[in-house]
Copies of this chain bind each other. A is one copy, B any other.
Amino acid sequence: VTVGDLSERELIARIQRQLPPAPAWLTLGIGDDAAVIEPERNHLDVLTVDAVVEGVHFDRRFTPPEAIGHRALAVNLSDLAAMGARPRAALLSMMLPAALPSDDFDAIVTGLMRLAADTPIHVAGGNLTRTPGPLVVDVTVTGTVKRRKVLRRSGASAGDDIYVTGAIGAAAAGLQALQQDAADESLSSCVHRYLYPQPRVRAGLLIGRTRAASACMDLSDGLADGLRQITASSGVGAVVWADQIPVEPPALEWFRRHDQDPVIAAMSGGDDYELLLTASRRARRRIHAAARLAGVPLTRIGSCTAEPALALLTTADGAAHPASFPAGFGHFR
């Protein structure tokens, strides 16, 4: 059975079967012309949309359908995390090729619903349409944040420290291994990291609450791109120390084995969904405390500068040498 054999109503029923009970604030869920939601008192609404497209953001040859659904929600949750927002409702818009097996459809929904339950966020509505083209899963999410706790991209000042959560490069190494059909045991953590990215929702919330960060964004398109964007939005530059950048060990090993500079490869690779933060020196203690509470590693990798340029410095031979700043990943991805 493929989705082409089923009516829209039957497909919606299949989604509804996987829905958990509705939260109290959901006045009206799937089944009417639109979803209706009770706003959260004294909070702002945060809204974002992000799509995953077959052949652009995933390859069905090595991406299981659960991972497609997971990714479609994760990329959006990562944007909420980067705003310091608590997730609330998701709208699921899918463009379905008629030949998609209905089991795969169910599994895409399962992957999305599993991450939704873990987060939690509630699927409140959506849209299904057929397409003569590739499978698209386009997800809109809403969240809430208190007015003074919004994490913007544009607040970094010269002299602020630059931090990154967790470690980077794993997703890029995992993707390379899958593409080359070379994903052995040593790469399994990287492959899992690529297939099932874990958005830093709790870290974003806790960092937002401390009001310690001056700017924040998520690393959907890699650290090089993130540094470029956060500094451009804030009107500053940055000096980053290559030796300080936390590259996931098996990814570092993979890049070395494949003649890639590990730092450049890790900075250029996308799909990490870590958070990139800036904070004043005075806020060092608070920002580390928030990360500790969230259970995520936090590494200081450089400083913001008044001069609006980006520099990657290496201390390989004891002295600082400017290294070329990687071009970044995913222009118009």
B34 touching A46, Cβ below 8 Å? yes
> Count of A residues near B, CB < 8 Å?
70
Q: Chain A 10-44 against B: per-residue CB contact (8 Å), 1 yes, 0 no? A: 01000000000000000110011111111110011
- B85, A34: Cβ atoms under 8 Å? yes
Check if A309 is an interface residue, CB within 8 A of chain B. no
- Residue-wise, chain A 48-92 has the 8 Å CB interface mask toward B (1 for contact) of 111101011100000000000000000000111011010001010
CA distance A7 to B79 in the complex (A): 21
Contacts of A80 on B, CB cut-off 8 Å?
33-34
Q: How far is the CA of A216 from the CA of B6 in the complex (A)?
A: 26
Q: Which residue of B89, B133, B134, B147 is within 8 Å of A47 (Cβ)?
A: B89
**Contact, CB under 8 Å: A39 / B43:** yes
Query: In the complex, what distance in Å separates the CA atom of A8 from the CA atom of B216?
Result: 20
Contact status B32-A44, CB under 8 Å: no
A191 within 8 A of B: no
The distance from the CB of A3 to the nearest CB of chain B, in whole angstroms, is 8
Which B residues touch A216, using CB under 8 A? 33
A37 touches B33 (CB 8 A): no
Q: Are A39 and B44 in contact (CB under 8 A)?
A: yes
Taking CB atoms, residues of chain B closer than 8 Å to A47 are: 34-37, 89, 91, 124-125, 140, 142
With an 8 A cutoff between CB atoms, is A210 at the interface?
no
- A287 interfacial contact with B, CB 8 Å: no
Query: Given A8-B332, A53-B95, does the pair A32, B154 have CB atoms closer than 8 Å?
Result: yes
| Min CB–CB distance A51 → chain B (angstroms) | 5
Is A127 positioned at the interface, with any CB of B under 8 Å from its CB?
yes
Q: Which 10 A-B pairs have the closest CB atoms?
A: A133-B133, A34-B48, A8-B332, A33-B82, A39-B39, A140-B140, A33-B79, A37-B45, A49-B91, A133-B134
